[in-house]
Amino acid sequence: MRALILCLMMLAAFPALAVQPNEMLSDPVLEARAREISRDLRCPVCQGEAIDDSNAPISRDLRLLVRERLVAGDSDEAVMDYIVARYGEFVLFKPRANGSGLILWLAGPAMLMIGGAAAFALTRRKPRVEADLSEDEKARLAELMQE
């Protein structure tokens, strides 16, 4: 009985896809392409979910639009370009490495290199040479070292 309850709890933890049966294409190849494209598109409302996982009305519209473009004969890249042209690059989970997106791709490695160079410079810095000790200080130091 415990095993059954545990299995049911684990099944409940898996996310349910929001894709409705009436949205699916009859051609399994086109449907697989649509799912692949949808995995890379962010819901504009939920922001952390792919459009296949979101129940937001805008996600349903995007899912239908992707399938409509595929049925029209567009390539996967043409579908993504069409969606980006209408909704902006925000809908992409992976921003493109051109234009303003190039800043996002280069900022992380640049900051890592700057931080590494700063850390290296700080650890390699030689300690400052202090002024020579006075005679009294030398005597006191010798006295402390002998104790």
Percent of the chain with pLDDT over 70: 76
pTM of the model: 0.56
Report the candidate in 29, 27, 20, 96 with the shortest Cα–Cα distance to residue 63. Answer: 20
Cα separation, 110 vs 92, whole angstroms: 23
The predicted-structure confidence for 101-111, as pLDDT tens digits, reads as follows 677 778 888 99
The predicted-structure confidence for 27-83, as pLDDT tens digits, reads as follows 788 888 888 888 889 888 887 888 888 888 888 888 889 989 988 988 989 999 999
- H-helix segments, the chain: 2-13, 28-39, 57-71, 76-87, 100-124, 135-146
